């Protein structure tokens, strides 16, 4: 899960510190991220799972980076094989006590240092509320995290925000196949980034068990987020080749979940002229920045031949629009005068 979250924050332009307890995991992580591992990725080999270790990490981050904006904690994993009365003390210590202590250590070291309206995001599984026989320790520990979130939210009094992303089965590099309705690790990253930016939205539990729940969450988190001065609107008019309009609609609407889940995408919609069942289609997209638009162009580059084959004329790049500020308007009017 961490890979998707780190990719999302890097694509959004953040400096991302990834602590791990072993050198091997650090090297594996850098290799897996490939080109996404820019110089804004700071991999740190450090035991952040004890109270002292987490404090040291938080101190060091404040000293070197000047502070911490957000924390995402996908700390944990899966555990199964025994019914509750069959577990031994080792199981209890590692799958419950160790994990709960790691979460507590990170919360107490980082939460008081987050900037105002910063987001602390826990990542848990749906087993936190649905019992899974043979995996009771995971369910109990994750249920405790959901209550921890509620307590923190009540104690913080709106200063910072605490989210919990509650996941069903997820498509990761380890489980590429699976139901297309499953949420992907990159979509989880996009939601974490959107929660960070949705400063007007209070911390909450967000269920992400299907594509519909992902879109609902993105719509909630992105609603009311003011379009910044750097936002880019991309508009494309696409005239379908004779007899290919339905196929073009199918491809363009089929791309919606993937494009809307991009960390920098604020809007994607496909339109037709009112009452015109055969004419051109209008695609309207909005991105947080020109960098986000470029990342989007790279992400969909392999779709262009597929779309081009359905068009009456060769595909052209979209026209880009930026917000017009009042002062720029006055300047332009002044020049005309």
Ligand X SMILES: NC(=O)c1ccc[n+]([C@@H]2O[C@H](COP(=O)([O-])OP(=O)(O)OC[C@H]3O[C@@H](n4cnc5c(N)ncnc54)[C@H](OP(=O)(O)O)[C@@H]3O)[C@@H](O)[C@H]2O)c1
Which residues are at the interface with ligand X (CB under 6 A)? 1-2, 20-21, 25, 49, 74-77, 98-99, 102, 123-125, 167, 169-170, 172
* Residue 77 in tokens: 């994993």
Q: How far is the CB of 193 from ligand X (least distance, A)?
A: 17
Please give the backbone phi and psi of residue 244, each rounded to the nearest 5 degrees, phi first. Answer: -110, 10
Q: How far is the CB of 21 from ligand X (least distance, A)?
A: 4
Q: Other C-beta atoms within 10 Å of 146: how many?
A: 15
Q: How far is the CB of 179 from ligand X (least distance, A)?
A: 12
Judged by beta carbon, residue 29 or residue 300, the one nearer ligand X is 29
Q: How far is the CB of 293 from ligand X (least distance, A)?
A: 30
Asked if 251 and 310 count as a contact pair (C-beta separation under 8 A), the reply is yes
Q: How far is the CB of 178 from ligand X (least distance, A)?
A: 9
Judged by beta carbon, residue 50 or residue 269, the one nearer ligand X is 50
Judged by beta carbon, residue 124 or residue 198, the one nearer ligand X is 124
Judged by beta carbon, residue 124 or residue 162, the one nearer ligand X is 124
Asked if 233 and 284 count as a contact pair (C-beta separation under 8 A), the reply is yes
Judged by beta carbon, residue 183 or residue 286, the one nearer ligand X is 183
Q: How far is the CB of 8 from ligand X (least distance, A)?
A: 14
Query: Long-range contacts of range 195-200, CB-CB < 8 Å, 24 or more positions apart?
Result: 195/119, 195/121, 195/161, 195/163, 195/221, 196/9, 196/12, 196/69, 196/70, 196/118, 196/119, 196/121, 197/12, 197/221, 197/222, 197/225, 197/288, 198/222, 198/224, 198/225, 199/117, 200/224, 200/225
User: What contacts 327, CB < 8 A, 6 or more positions away?
Assistant: none
Judged by beta carbon, residue 49 or residue 288, the one nearer ligand X is 49
């Amino acid at each position: 899960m961490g890979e998707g979250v780190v990719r999302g924050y890097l694509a959004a332009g953040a400096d991302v510190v990834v602590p791990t307890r072993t050198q091997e995991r650090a090297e594996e992580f850098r290799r897996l991220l490939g080109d996404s591992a820019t110089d804004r990725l700071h991999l740190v080999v450090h035991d952040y799972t004890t109270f002292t270790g987490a404090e040291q990490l938080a101190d060091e981050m404040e000293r070197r980076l000047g502070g911490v904006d957000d924390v995402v904690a996908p700390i944990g994993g899966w555990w199964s094989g025994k019914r509750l009365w069959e577990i031994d003390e080792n199981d209890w210590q590692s799958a419950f006590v160790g994990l709960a202590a790691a979460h507590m250590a990170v919360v107490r070291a980082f939460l008081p240092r987050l900037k105002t309206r910063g987001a602390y995001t826990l990542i848990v599984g749906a087993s936190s509320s649905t019992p899974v026989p043979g995996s009771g320790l995971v369910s109990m520990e994750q249920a405790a995290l959901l209550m921890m979130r509620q307590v923190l939210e009540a104690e913080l009094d709106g200063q910072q925000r605490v989210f919990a992303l509650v996941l069903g089965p997820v498509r990761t590099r380890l489980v590429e196949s699976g139901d297309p309705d499953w949420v992907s690790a990159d979509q989880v990253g996009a939601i974490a980034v959107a929660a960070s930016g949705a400063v007007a939205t209070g911390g909450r539990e967000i269920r992400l068990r299907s594509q519909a729940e992902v879109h609902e969450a993105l719509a909630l988190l992105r609603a009311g987020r003011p379009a910044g001065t750097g936002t880019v609107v991309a508009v494309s008019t696409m005239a379908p080749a004779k007899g290919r309009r339905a196929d073009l609609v199918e491809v363009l609407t089929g791309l919606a979940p993937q494009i809307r889940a991009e960390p920098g995408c604020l809007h994607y919609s496909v339109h037709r002229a009112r009452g015109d069942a055969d004419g051109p289609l209008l695609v309207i997209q909005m991105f947080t920045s020109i960098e986000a638009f470029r990342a989007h162009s790279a992400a969909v580059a392999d779709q262009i031949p597929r779309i081009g084959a359905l068009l009456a004329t060769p595909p052209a790049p979209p026209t880009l629009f930026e917000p017009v500020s009042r002062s720029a308007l006055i300047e332009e009017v002044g020049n005309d005068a």
